[in-house]
Amino acid sequence: MQLAVARPPVLSRPCRGPQRKANVARSSAIAAPMSLVLPANFGWIAGVVVGSYAVHHGFMAFHVMKARKRFGVSYPTLYATAEECPSAESRKAFNCVQRGHQNSLENQPIFLALLLTAGLKHPLTAAAAGALYLIGRVMYMQGYATGDPNARMRGSIMYVGLLTLLGVVGKWAVQTAVAAIAK
């Protein structure tokens, strides 16, 4: 798959002399079309991105909405307080569900960045690692939602997926640096 992106020229005020030549050369270089060639199996990465959205903004958000109704925590309150939820046990139960979702959202950007970057070099490995990460995230949320924060460790398998993505991207970065130094 090949995508072509045309960049618009840089607009600057007209100059005379050597500076004008530099501006013209720079705007011509920027206006040149750019292409990005994606690996044949990159569609698997797209599927994992959609899966990530479904897990984080579907499955987990649904659990938080359900917990809000069950424990009487209204929007925009992020975490249950004693005023809103008098029972300490109910507060802890709601806050565990909310924290499981919040932690997952906090980590989603780096996961997606690693997934997309790793997918450019090794799409099948990256897609498998991404799917494993998402399975781990679901298990993490289910464990956390029990009200016992230690039960979130059921999802520790997610780190195998995350570290695989980190390894693929790190290896590519080191290979690129070594090749640049060798030149």
25 and 59 fall within a common domain: no
Average pLDDT over residues 140-147: 92
48 and 33 fall within a common domain: no
How high is the mean pLDDT of the chain? 87
33 and 111 fall within a common domain: no
Closest CA to 71 of 51, 55, 91: 91
**Could you please report the per-residue DSSP string of 12-60?**
-----THHHHHHHHHHHHHHS-EEEEPPTTTHHHHHHHHHHHHIIIIIH
Residue span of the structural domain in which 100 resides: 43-182
The whole-model pTM stands at 0.79
Amino acid at 62: F
- Report how far residue 94's alpha carbon sits from residue 87's, in angstroms, rounded to the nearest whole number: 11
148 and 64 fall within a common domain: yes
Q: What is the total count of domains within the chain?
A: 2
Q: Is the pLDDT of residue 6 over 80?
A: no
109 and 150 fall within a common domain: yes
DSSP structural state of residue 151:
G
- Report how far residue 112's alpha carbon sits from residue 128's, in angstroms, rounded to the nearest whole number: 14
52 and 8 fall within a common domain: no
* C-beta atoms surrounding 147 within 10 Å: 14
53 and 93 fall within a common domain: yes
pLDDT in tens, 62-106: 999 999 999 999 988 899 998 888 899 999 999 999 999 999 999
CATH of the domain at 67: 1.20.120.550
Average pLDDT over residues 126-146: 96
33 and 116 fall within a common domain: no
Residue pointed to by tokens 């090749």: 179
53 and 138 fall within a common domain: yes
8 and 89 fall within a common domain: no
19 and 85 fall within a common domain: no
Counting residues of the chain whose pLDDT is more than 90, the rounded percentage is 71
At 101 the pLDDT is: 96
50 and 33 fall within a common domain: no
Half-sphere exposure for 44 (CA within 13 Å, toward CB):
18
Sign of CA pseudo-dihedral 145, 147, 161, 113: positive
